[in-house]
Chains A and B, each alone.
Chain A
Amino acid sequence: MTVAIHWEAFFQVLGAALVGTLLVVGFYALGLRMLVRAGRVPVVTPAEFTDAITVISEKEAKRAAKAAAKAARKSPLSEGQKTLAQIAAYACFAVCAAAVLGGILLIVVK
């Protein structure tokens, strides 16, 4: 009985998952960064305040929103630059969505 192990398959999984993850996470993070640059700092409060959430309290969320507004006012960028940054942000999010859809399509088509 021969035991054939396809090692290259494991590297395929590692490679595909690594590239996919870094693409999605990297571009999403870049998109957020661009949003911040555009003066639209996302302040997303937890959908529900449960015991589990020690990450951000309601008070902290309000403070964060205030800080975000202040940072946006102080931004040295011109309106045009801000718009550009915002477009870049949405482009980054689009890349993420495309990467996810592409990955799923690859699996379904196969």
Chain B
Amino acid sequence: METAALIVVLVILLALFFDFTNGFHDTANAMATPIATGALKPRTAVMLAAGLNLVGAFLSTEVSKTISGGIVREDQIHGDLFPALIFAGLIGAITWNMLTWLLGLPSSSSHALFGGLIGATLVGIGMNGIDFGAVLSKVVLPALIAPVTAGLIAFLATKLAYLVTRRYDGRPDGRSGFRWGQIFTSSLVALAHGTNDAQKTMGVITLALITVGWQSGAHHEPQLWVIIACACTIALGTYLGGWRIIRTLGKGLTDVKPAQGFAAETSTAATILASSALGFALSTTQVASGSVIGSGLGRRGSAVRWRTAGRIAIGWVLTLPAAGAVGAVAALIVVIGGGWGVLIDAILALAVIIGLFLRSRRNAVTANNAFSEVADSGLAVEVPEEPPLTPRQARAQRARERAKAREKGAGR
């Protein structure tokens, strides 16, 4: 039992570390667009994101319940092995996250987490350990559907925003006023991020507590100290992730207009919040990327750069199985080596964390690690500097020109 307790403590520490990297990595997702349009000063944006992530983590626990009480069948699991498997799964997730970060591949912390957990459980417990129905309906399908949903909504919202503010008399349209709105919508995205991403870590910790019997399996609600710890960790990660954004600002960023950014952020926030309420654990990165692409397409005369879009999609599809494979290998070490296996895994995890730390100290900023996947995904859409006129705008312009010519003729 003592080793089990030790392993649970290790799981909690590693899960919180994962939470931290998640916040660290995802600040940009909430704040990329407002910084890009100049709605917020970078420093303010980062502070706001951290604070609202903290608040968001307290709002809903549905996603946490999905993880602690849906995906893995605890009733099929007994003995002290499982906490060690969660540990292995977390190692899979963190390793894959670091690898994709180093290689500049688009990825998703959330799917890395699920992949690692599922891979480790499959190796350690077998097919019975996983509720594939829950995995399919609460993880895999939302992963595929949510970015498309967000993209579609952002597309329609962008069209609507431009349609309502479009003017045909050539006078100012007041669209820069969307910058004010962006302050609120980007805050909403940060809040939504807290309701979905912080929950995932809570779910993992709760799952570990349930399997060793420190929490009753009948209640999947995370305990208060778990909520507080996860909320604070993700907020800290978000805040500390900010310096990276401030430093790398302006590299590899696409042109986002305020109206478009406003629509994209609203769509992202609405999709994540609605999913959180129903307990869908989705990747906030992918939803935000979907929104940015959708809103780009909502601008007149834009076109998809299929090559870039394809690269992003491949990164997304790869994450779950790849993290699963790493998690499975880590679990295999546990299954074969027992206590020694956990030790080996712990050493490997430490090496990965130190590697991550060293990497983050290095100042090299390349186009690959520059901003965020969300900002990068904007590159998948090609938008002309001057959008073509709508037919009515073109008619109005011709009419104005004719009137001007007549005036000139009359004056002569």
Q: Tell me the nearest residue of chain A to B179, going by C-beta.
A: A44
A109 to B259 Cα, complex, angstroms: 31
Contacts of A45 in B (CB 8 A): 38, 176
Are A36 and B179 neighbours in the complex by a CB distance under 8 Å?
no
Q: Which of A4-21 contact B (CB under 8 A)?
A: 4-6, 9-10, 12-14, 16-18, 20-21
Question: Which residues of B364-392 are within 8 A (CB) of A?
Answer: none
In the assembled complex, B348 has its CB within 8 A of some CB on chain A = no
Instruction: Give bound CA distance, A53 to B42, whole Å.
Output: 12
Q: Check if A33 sits within 8 Å of B165, measured CB to CB.
A: yes
Q: Considering the complex, give the chain B residue whose CB is closest to the CB of A103.
A: B273
Question: Which chain A residues lie closer than 8 Å to B153 at the CB level?
Answer: 14, 17-18, 21-22
Nearest to B263 among chain A residues (CB) is A25
- From A24, A26, A49, A107, B277 is in contact (CB under 8 Å) with A107
B253 CB-CB contact with A under 8 Å: yes
Given A4-B137, A64-B172: A52 touches B250 (CB 8 Å cut-off): yes
Evaluate contact between A13 and B278: CB separation under 8 angstroms.
yes
Query: Closest residue of chain B to A13, judged by CB?
Result: B274
User: Which residues of chain B in 36-51 are interfacial with respect to chain A, using CB atoms and an 8 Å cutoff?
Assistant: 36-42, 44
Within 8 A of A (CB), among B59-75: 59-60, 62
Give the distance in Å from the alpha carbon of A24 to the alpha carbon of B184 in the complex. 11
Q: Is the beta-carbon distance between A71 and B172 smaller than 8 angstroms?
A: yes
**Closest Cβ–Cβ distance, residue A96 to chain B (whole Å):** 8
Taking CB atoms and an 8 Å cut-off, the chain A residues in 52-83 that contact chain B are: 52-56, 64, 67-68, 71
Are B274's CB and A12's CB within 8 A?
yes
Contact B172 A17 (CB under 8 A): no
Q: Nearest Cβ distance between residue A62 and chain B, in whole angstroms?
A: 13
C-alpha spacing A9/B40, complex, angstroms: 35
Please report the number of residue pairs spanning A and B whose Cβ atoms sit closer than 8 angstroms.
188
Taking CB atoms, residues of chain B closer than 8 Å to A21 are 153-154, 156-157, 263, 266-267, 270
In A90-110, which residues have CB < 8 Å from any B CB? 96, 100, 103-104, 106-108, 110
State whether A107 touches B177 (Cβ < 8 A).
no
Min Cβ gap B214→A in Å is 27
State A106–B62 Cα separation when bound (angstroms).
13
CB closest residue in chain A, given B187: A100
Contact-residue bracket for chain A: 35 or more
- B355 contacts the other chain (CB 8 A): no
- Is the CB of B397 closer than 8 A to any CB of chain A? no
Contact B60 A42 (CB under 8 A): no
Q: A46 to B173, Cβ gap below 8 A?
A: no
B180 touches A44 (CB 8 A): yes
A55 touching B266 in the complex, CB below 8 Å, given contacts A29-B164, A108-B59: no
Summarize A's interface: helix, strand, loop or mixed.
helix
A35 near B177 with CB under 8 A, answer: yes
Chain B residues whose C-beta falls within 8 Å of the C-beta of A50 in the assembled complex: 35, 38, 42, 249-250
Q: Which of B1-49 contact A (CB under 8 A)?
A: 35-42, 44
Known contacts A56-B38, A107-B60; A41 and B180 CB within 8 A of each other:
no
C-alpha spacing A43/B175, complex, angstroms:
8
Question: Could you say which residues of chain B place their CB within 8 Å of the CB of A26?
Answer: 160-161, 164
| Cβ A107 vs Cβ B195 within 8 A | yes
Given A44-B177, A71-B172; A10-B141 close (CB under 8 Å): yes
Measured between beta carbons, the chain A residues less than 8 angstroms from B403 are: none
Verify B277–A47 contact, CB threshold 8 A.
Answer: no
Q: List 29 A-B contacts (CB under 8 A).
A: A1-B133, A3-B133, A9-B278, A9-B280, A13-B275, A16-B274, A17-B273, A18-B153, A18-B156, A24-B266, A25-B157, A25-B161, A28-B161, A32-B174, A36-B174, A42-B176, A43-B172, A44-B39, A47-B40, A48-B42, A50-B42, A53-B38, A53-B250, A54-B255, A55-B257, A104-B191, A107-B60, A108-B60, A110-B62
Query: Knowing that A1-B133, A55-B37 are A-B contacts, what are 19 other residue pairs whose CB atoms are under 8 Å apart, sorted by A's residue number?
Result: A3-B136, A6-B137, A16-B270, A18-B270, A20-B266, A21-B153, A21-B156, A22-B156, A24-B266, A25-B262, A30-B164, A44-B258, A46-B179, A47-B39, A52-B35, A52-B38, A54-B255, A96-B181, A104-B191
Residues of A within 8 A of B (CB): 1-6, 9-10, 12-14, 16-18, 20-22, 24-26, 28-30, 32-33, 35-36, 41-56, 64, 67-68, 71, 96, 100, 103-104, 106-108, 110
